[in-house]
Structure 1
Amino acid sequence: MTFHEMNFDGLIGPTHNYSGLAVGNLASAKNAKNTSFPKEAALQGIEKMRTLVRKGYKQGFFLPNARPDLSVLRNLGFTGTNSQMINKAAKQAPELLSMVYSASSMWAANAATVTPSLDSRDGKVHFTPANLLTTAHRAIEHPQTERILKTVFNNSKYFKVHSALYSQNEFADEGAANHTRLGGTYQEPGVGLFVYGRSSQANLTRFPARQTLKASQAIARSHGTREALFLQQSSVAIDAGAFHNDVVAVGNGPALFFHEDAFVAEQQTAIFSSLAEQMPFKAICVSRDEVSLADAISSYLFNSQLLANPDGSTGEMHLIAPTECRDNKAVFAYLERLIADTTQPIRSVTYVDVRQSMSNGGGPACLRLRVLLSDDEIAAVNPNFIATEEQLNALSDWVNQHYRDELAPADLADPELMIESYDALTDLADLLGCEAAYKF
């Protein structure tokens, strides 16, 4: 049986907007209340997927969460028809509209944490949707995310979709943005590297340390993970704007590509020694002298996708980087030196334009959830969610038909946006044969 890494990207929804809701996300704060471009955003995401498909990689996608989520407004005391609730919220608590309209489920790296069948004791692929409780607009996602995961991975012989962890501060979980699977090859068991920001309820950083050690440990237990290691993110990185570990580190196979300031140094030494004992581990550390932490975060250098060859071999690896890396002189110069260095496996860089996502704080790696799957497991995935040229063309047509070119903050108060969004998602569910995934 052959195993392959498959990327599942989140489709960017029709209410993509800049509300600046994520504390510690510098790009989100910088662009808060700017006009967004939903159609451009969604098409950029689809083109990134098309880039990988054309390079020969296995690619899938997820539905966007239904937005606005009016069940939240009802829970918070608003009554009447859908339009009446929107009108009341716009007058009485307009900040709630930003929360229920948020399209942040586009960042599939936060959808769930995944343990492949090779690494689980029961031989199934395990998914735990992230509770995302640190921010209100994301904490409402996991019930819909669970339904979507069960729609895509709908064969219980191969897949186990858990419910999100108990939503309490000690178990704050932000998904695969803080988890990396490392191993010698895709054909043998690997190690789950869980990165956490804090080990207690107290937040000791200026910006929220979102992932907790207890959450990571709980996921490893519930998934029956054979080999799990736990490493703390540095407070320096968090306070510089690395709200998730994937802003300062990305790993795949035997390679971990990371900034010098990514982790707590004492723990890093012990963890890396353990990894080196288990696999041909290659630590690719970018020093702060080569790329400052500020440049790494503003360009999202480490939020690039680190890919093996399409055939799964890891001797020569590839980065899918945002165009912001090409535009940053220090980062671009470093990447040119990197791919010329034959002592490490990263051999090429492809730059992709996901500027609409980047402006809200998510790069190429934020937009995808990586899932290691066997041939039989791939055959068991709902085929409507496998990205082919034909399917990507259909999705582009759907976006062009339904999405607005521009969306200003004031537009959230217009019930017509709600109607347009629901109509778009209804048509998408019809297109993909998954009407039960949405509950408007």
Structure 2
Amino acid sequence: MTFAVEANCDGLVGPTHSYVGLSPGNLASTRNAGEVSNPRAAALEGLAKMRRLSDLGLPQFVLAPHERPAIRFLKSIGFSGADETVLEDAWKAAPALAAAACSSSSMWAANAATVTPSADAADGRVHFSPANLLTNLHRSLEGEQTTRALRRLFPDARRFAVHDPLPAQPHFADEGAANHVRLCAEHGGPGVNLFVWGRQAWEDWDGAFPARQTREAFEAIQRRHGAARGVFPRQAKAAIAGGAFHNDVVCVGTRQCLFFHERAFEDRVAMERAVRTAAADLFEPVFVEVSEAELPIADLVASYLFNSQLLAVPGEDRLVLLAPAETRDNPRAYAVAEGLAASNGPIGRVDYVDVRQSMRNGGGPACLRLRVVLTDEELEAVNPAQRFSPDLHKTLADWVERRYRDSLAPGDLADPLLLTESREALDELTRILSLGGDFYPFQRTA
């Protein structure tokens, strides 16, 4: 078996981080719409979380924010003139579209792509399919730039295959790794891939909130990646109705352990049977289920217990759960979390991290990262300037302190000065991370 580790690629929060409430079904996003955000604090919180993982000995990488406001999008829908004029006119004539063009949602890198490690891929390369995210307008703007970002981070075509997003059609609605879990005995060995879907392409969906992932999208990704041992459980309709817009709100897994809520899957028994069958002769899966009685769905969504990072930390015999501070603050969720650590199960320790700025938009620790299993040789082929280190932490924290506002109301997004500030900040960032002078659209049209 080839040795490999699970690296985390975190999305860096962008200068336009705001609470506009763009995501139906994301209860936190809706609840906090209109509030004042703090982009500086949000970015520093994200960097502090990256530092936590790097200090644990886990490879950590930084994904740059997307250019926002997305002036090219606004021009494509009929606004014209100087970029500052385009922004002002869009906010006056079509504020909902202007708000979508300003979203900093690329920070949630769990939606960036679905990843198949080389141990599971037919051609022995690491495969990425950037998500088309077409269910919500503001997120559907991300696919092209995400593809560019992944190709800069993973440039060696001999080792990495970064595909284009799936066709931008409702039949192939795809939300990336937020609905994908990989289980295995060791990261470098063969695994079982859980592709969790909310609806089928031709299904007459009648839920109160959208089911964002189709089964057909994941089937297409499995085919193009040549991904072995795929299992396709359905996310429970009750979970979606309760505010679990992605499977990673109700489920997280790594190595042999799948940690999930009673209402995560439409048919839990069938899911477990399919996973055991796919894992036969490879490893024995460990299922850790939390019941509705222990943690009602309302507390689950408020605490984001399952939107934690489940980590195999070097030197520790059992897994570490890195949960949001909201889990610690919710009595029921905290009791479940601490009960895990006190048991003899696979999770030996629960740590807590403050990402409150992200949480207020419905994104916990797991939302902020894309997991990529890499061998030593693959690690060496990743863009070294994007690998997190204490020195990079210091450089990026200084950059954030200088470049980001500490207060941003939704109305401030119409400020043309914010467009200039954001572009100047991102232009400097491309030099820090060695992304090239053509990384962002404004750099290619200047």
The corresponding residue for 1:289 is 293
Pairs within 5 Å for 1:188-203: 188-201=189-202, 202-203=204-205
The corresponding residue for 2:224 is 222
Measure how far apart 1:280 and its partner are. 1.6
Measure how far apart 1:55 and its partner are. 1.6
Pairs within 5 Å for 1:31-430: 31-201=32-202, 202-265=204-267, 267-275=270-278, 277=280, 278-310=282-314, 315-342=317-344, 344-430=345-431
One-letter code of the match for 1:330?
R
One-letter code of the match for 1:397?
D
Measure how far apart 1:294 and its partner are. 1.1
Counterpart-to-counterpart distance in 1, 2:140 and 2:407: 26
Do the aligned partners of residues 230 and 111 (structure 1) sit closer, same or farther apart at CA in structure 2, a change above 3 Å counting? same
Deviations 1:363-412 (A, max 9, x none): 00000000000000000000011000101111101100100000011111
Residue identity (%):
50
Residues 9 and 63, structure 2, Cα contact 8 Å, conserved in 1: yes
The count of aligned residue pairs is 437
Measure how far apart 1:96 and its partner are. 1.5
Deviations 1:194-226 (A, max 9, x none): 000001343232110000000000000000112
Deviations 1:272-315 (A, max 9, x none): 4425534221000001111111111110000000001226x7x4
TM-score (norm 1): 0.97
Deviations 1:91-119 (A, max 9, x none): 11111121011000000000000000010
Question: Structure 1 unaligned runs (5+)?
Answer: none
CA RMSD of aligned residues (A): 1.1
Residues 232 and 267, structure 1, Cα contact 8 Å, conserved in 2: no
Deviations 1:321-356 (A, max 9, x none): 0000000001111111111110x1100011000000
Measure how far apart 1:37 and its partner are. 0.4
Residues 275 and 281, structure 1, Cα contact 8 Å, conserved in 2: no
Counterpart-to-counterpart distance in 2, 1:274 and 1:393: 47
Deviations 1:65-90 (A, max 9, x none): 11111111111100000011011112
Deviations 1:251-271 (A, max 9, x none): 101000000010012532432
TM-score (norm 2): 0.96
Question: Structure 2 unaligned runs (5+)?
Answer: none
Counterpart-to-counterpart distance in 2, 1:164 and 1:308: 30
One-letter code of the match for 2:45?
Q
The corresponding residue for 2:441 is 439
Moved beyond 6 Å, runs of 4+: none
Counterpart-to-counterpart distance in 2, 1:105 and 1:175: 12
Residue 181 of structure 1: SS of its match in structure 2? strand
Counterpart-to-counterpart distance in 1, 2:115 and 2:195: 11
Measure how far apart 1:192 and its partner are. 1.1
Residue 256 of structure 1: SS of its match in structure 2? strand
Counterpart-to-counterpart distance in 2, 1:223 and 1:204: 32
Larger deviation: 429-438 or 390-399?
429-438
Measure how far apart 1:359 and its partner are. 0.1
Counterpart-to-counterpart distance in 2, 1:267 and 1:68: 45
Counterpart-to-counterpart distance in 2, 1:437 and 1:156: 19
One-letter code of the match for 1:256?
L
Counterpart-to-counterpart distance in 1, 2:229 and 2:273: 15
Measure how far apart 1:432 and its partner are. 1.8
Counterpart-to-counterpart distance in 1, 2:189 and 2:276: 20
